[in-house]
Every structure is written in structure tokens, then in C-alpha cells.
Amino acid sequence: MNRLHKGNRSVKMQYTFSGFLIVIALTLGGCATTGDVEQQTVVSKTDPYESFNRKIFGFNDSVDNYVAEPISNAYKWITPQFMQTGVFNFFNNLKNVNVVINDVLQAKFSQSAEDTGRFAINSTIGLGGLVDVAKHVGLEQNEEDFEQTLAVWGVPQGSYLVLPILGPSTARGIPGAVFDTAANPVSYIGMPVQLLSMLNARASAEGALKFINEAALDPYVFTRESFLQWRNHLATDGKAEASFDIDGLEDESLEGDNGAAFSQDSSGDANASDKPGFALRLDEKTKEIEQVSYSFSSVAQSFDATAKSFEQAGNKLDELKKLRRRR
Amino acid sequence: MILKNMKLTVVFMFFLFGTMNAFALDEGGATAKQVVEKFQADLIEVMKDGKKLGYAGRYEKLKESVSNSHELTKIARIVVGKEWEKLSEEQQQKLVDVFSQLSIASYAHNFKDYSGESFVFDSEEETTRGGVVVHSHLVIPDDKPVKFDYMLKENGNSWRIINIIANGVSDLALKRSEYTTILQREGFDVLITKINEKINNYSKQ
């Protein structure tokens, strides 16, 4: 994750980048004009607000094209590679405070010790985080955040949302992001540093955005699917069996006529099916404003569930501890 | 001592020939693991010669390799979901054609240079419905490894790749969402136009 853009060595490895950067990047979306096709024929279970989301996606895309990308390109042009890497490492290192907190909340105690060590090494020998020394000692950067913790605690994912400027998220991602922001030291440093942090995020997203641009037939759907699948992969620490959904896919298309089951997307289902009521399915006549208000209520539900799970955090941790010990 | 060494050498030679024979069997009766490893070896080879071959050269080399290891017709069919039934026979053929071209083109475009990457086999498991998943990962110097899981199905007497899951992102599910969305919103002709645009863009760089 250290080298920011090394060209396209692999189709797939860039998916990782896309997911990773989407979370932190300023504007995501990436590419190609979203041809406004008004009628919404595809109602996806995880994306009931598609037509609204598409508009925000289009907006983010223009912001990216006209503001973020030019600034980021200028940054990359005037800044030598070693400094860019240093900046990336610096912010990445600060993120570890958050990672450690979430390790603990998910009862991953040995990992939290490693990540603490990682943070300590890089903050000292690594010159305040500018050099990623820990990597060479064999301590890899782990990806943990509150959204994942909430997932582990059983808060349902909720519907897919594209936020203005911030990009792809889910109903669960919003309370998650609130806590992540609160737990990240960068949030308290002040403007110039935060600006640099945003520049860094956009610059690191370059490869992912380029890849989406090249590979996506429908950039909106491409971003949504890879985002949801990637988040699911992270939340389950790679244990989610995405591999099994192919059997389902195959059945549907080869035997093919259970239309109802078909319109739903495979990704994120593991979470979406946790509890009904979060991924609200809208009937076609519903007006947009109502969709938005639904989306707010679904976010409100996520906050609710978050609050509840915090109340029960003690119990959750005990349960998780037992679970991990059994493994 | 010398004798023992010779014995070892002989054993080693047998082992070597054994594996070579396994590779030679490729066309008929190759196991799922062999199909994946052969394909990965081809990819790495193309990456190593990437610069010299150029896009056209990589495309030519990968054409055979991809078609021999992937079940492209079936993938194209799954990718459009139940829309497949609604397509005329001509359209179905057209779709399979351009889809195959796109798959090869994207490999040729993305695997163009080499900086010490290698694939490592992890494990193999059978799925409930007679498929096999081959777990492997790509080692990239100075970077995190990328997990590659290949889903294979048996076709006749050989195994073919039907889905690739990279770091948890399923290629098939991703493409299926895209293709069905475009088919439903914009129709078959737009889908084909878009695919052709992508192939065209890939070939330019």
C-alpha cells in the first residue's frame, strides 16, 4: 500500500486500492459522465436509492474532474515521490490510533498489540511516521475501522449511500465515519494538515480511479459493487465466502426464471440479510424526496443500533473473546 | 555418499518429470490446480516479456491461454443473468465474442510489466456443487500480497475457470451487476458499444 501508483500491474490488485481509497478519498466516482437515464428499472436490495445516489455520484464526479483532480495533479507534479510517500506514511501511521481502538473493540487483542507496536516503531524510529519501518520488521498495516467494528457487533449494513464529496458509504458507514473522525488525531490538528491529508487521499486514489475509468462499463455500478464487496471482505477479515455466491449466480441464470430473487445483488447480502427493514425496497411510484427521507430514517436506525450496541459493548466483547478462544 | 547423492538426483529427476508430465496433460484431464497454475505461469511469462511483446503480442499470447483456461461462453452467459434468454441467438453469439475479446484485452492491458511478482498456491477445496476453489495469492515485492481465489467447474474432462475473486471482490458478481444494469437501462446495443469502446481503449495504450 506504500507505493502510490505503480501503473497497472494487475487488474485485481487495484480493486483493493479502489476499496481502500474510496473510504478515505475526497471524491470518488472517478469517471465517465453518468448518462442520466431517468427510469429506474433495476431496484437493488442494497441500493434502493439508486436514482438519487446516481445524481450525487455525478456531482462528485464533476467536483473531482474540475477541482480535486487538478489540485491533486498539481500536488503530485510539485512534490517529489519520496515526499509523497512520506506524507502517505505519516497519515497512514496516525490512522493506527484508530486501528488499535477498533482491534480492541473487536476483541482482536494480539493484533492490537502488533498494531500498537507498529505505531510505536513508526512514530519513533520511523521519524514520526514518515518512514514505514514496521513493514520491514514484518508488521503489516491492518485495516480496521468503526464501520467494521459495528459489522462485527451485528449492526446491519443498511442501504448503500453515496455522500456528497465523501463518496460511497452505507447507512452503517455514517455512524462509523463519525467515530473514525473522532478517533483520528488529524481531525484535531487543524486546517493546513487536514488539507494535506485530503490531497494525499486523492493522490493515492489516482490508481484506483484510473482503473475504474478503464474497466468500468457502468462506473456507478462498478464502484458500488466493488465497494460493498470489499467492505464485506474487510469486516469478515476475508473469511466471507464470496466464492459460494457463484453457485447462486449460476442457478439463477441457467435455470433462470425466479425474477424476484434475481433483481437483488450478490454483494453485501451477508450483511443485508441480517435483519430486514434496513434495506428498504421502494415501490416504483415512490417519489424521490420520500426516498431521501427513507434514507435518513435508515441512517437514523443505524445510529440507533450503534447506540444500542455500545450499551452492550461489554457483553459483545465477552462473546467475541469466547468465540476467538474457541477457534 | 556419492551413491546417495545419485539416488537423490534420480528421485529429484523423477519428481521433475512427474510434474512436467502433469503439465503436458493440460489439454485433457488436467486438474483444477494445474489449470490455474498453467494460466498463472503464462501470465507471469507475458508480464516478463511485456515490453518486448507490446499490446498486440501480449494479446496474441494470452488469447490461447485465456480461452483454454476460462469457460468464456458460460461466463458471458452468467454475466447477463436472465437477460440471456431474451437475446436472439445472433445477439448471444455477438455477446460471447465481444466478451471474450474484452477479457483477453483486459489481461493484455493490465499485465504488461514485471517487477518480481509471483503466484503462490495456498489450498484447494471442493464446493457443494461439484466445483473446485483454488486459493492462491500474488506476491508483490514491497507490497501487500493479493488474494486470488479461482472458481472452477469441470467441462468434459478438463477444468475451466469460471470466476476469479480478488481480495474478496468477485469478478463475476461485479460484472453481472454492471451488465444486467446496462441491459435493463440502456439495452443490448449500448452494452456492445460500451464493451467495444473498452477493448479499443485497452488496445491504444
Number of residues that this document lists for chain A: 327
Q: Do B169 and A15 touch (CB under 8 A)?
A: yes
Q: Who's near A126: CB < 8 A, 6+ residues apart?
A: A89, A93, A132, A133, A134
Q: Do A238 and B194 touch (CB under 8 A)?
A: no
CA distance B174 to chain A (A): 6
CA distance B26 to chain A (A): 25
Residue A31 has pLDDT above 60, yes or no: no
Average pLDDT, whole number, for chain B? 86
Q: Do B109 and A234 touch (CB under 8 A)?
A: no
Question: How many helices and strands (H and E) does chain A possess?
Answer: 16, 2
Residue B35 has pLDDT above 60, yes or no: yes
Residue from B48, B51, B77, B82 whose CB has the most chain A CBs within 10 Å, to mutate = B82
The model's pLDDT over B52-100, given as tens digits with 9 standing for 90+, comes to: 999 999 999 999 999 999 999 999 999 998 899 999 999 999 999 999 9
Average pLDDT, whole number, for chain A? 75
Of A19-23, B37-41, B73-77, B110-114, the least confident: A19-23
CA distance A190 to chain B (A): 31
Do residues A47 and A53 lie in contact, with contact meaning Cβ atoms separated by under 8 Å?
A: yes
Q: What does the pLDDT read at residue A275?
A: 35
Closest CA in chain B for residue A16: B167
By C-alpha distance, which of B98, B110, B96 is closest to B43?
B110
Q: What does the pLDDT read at residue B5?
A: 60
Q: Which residue has the higher pLDDT, A307 or B138?
A: B138
Q: In chain A, what percentage of residues exceed pLDDT 90? A: 47
Q: What does the pLDDT read at residue A311?
A: 79
Residue A288 has pLDDT above 80, yes or no: no
Q: What does the pLDDT read at residue B186?
A: 93
Residue among B165, B194, B198 whose CB faces A243 most closely: B165
Going by the DSSP 8-state scheme, the letter that residue A143 receives in this structure is -
Q: What does the pLDDT read at residue A237?
A: 84
Identify the top-confidence range among A15-29, A257-271, B98-112. Answer: B98-112
Cα(A315)–Cα(B125) distance, rounded to whole angstroms? 35
Tell me the pLDDT band of A24, cut-offs 50, 70 and 90. very low
Q: Cell digits for B145?
A: 500480497
Q: Who's near B178: CB < 8 A, 6+ residues apart?
A: A216, A217, A218, A221, A222, A225
Burial of A237 (0-12, 13-18, 19+ CB in 10 A): middle
Q: What does the pLDDT read at residue A308?
A: 82
What ipTM does this complex have? 0.80
Do residues B39 and B65 lie in contact, with contact meaning Cβ atoms separated by under 8 Å?
A: yes
Closest CA in chain B for residue A136: B142
Cα(A213)–Cα(B179) distance, rounded to whole angstroms? 16
CA distance A169 to chain B (A): 17
Q: Which residues of chain B have a CB within 8 Å of the CB of A250?
A: 78, 162
Q: What does the pLDDT read at residue B142?
A: 80
The model's pLDDT over A258-287, given as tens digits with 9 standing for 90+, comes to: 333 333 334 433 333 333 333 333 334 443
The model's pLDDT over A113-171, given as tens digits with 9 standing for 90+, comes to: 999 999 999 999 999 999 999 988 888 899 999 999 999 998 999 999 999 988 999 99
Q: Which residues of chain B have a CB within 8 Å of the CB of A34?
A: none
Q: Do B110 and A6 touch (CB under 8 A)?
A: no
Q: Which residues of chain B have a CB within 8 Å of the CB of A8?
A: 109-110, 112
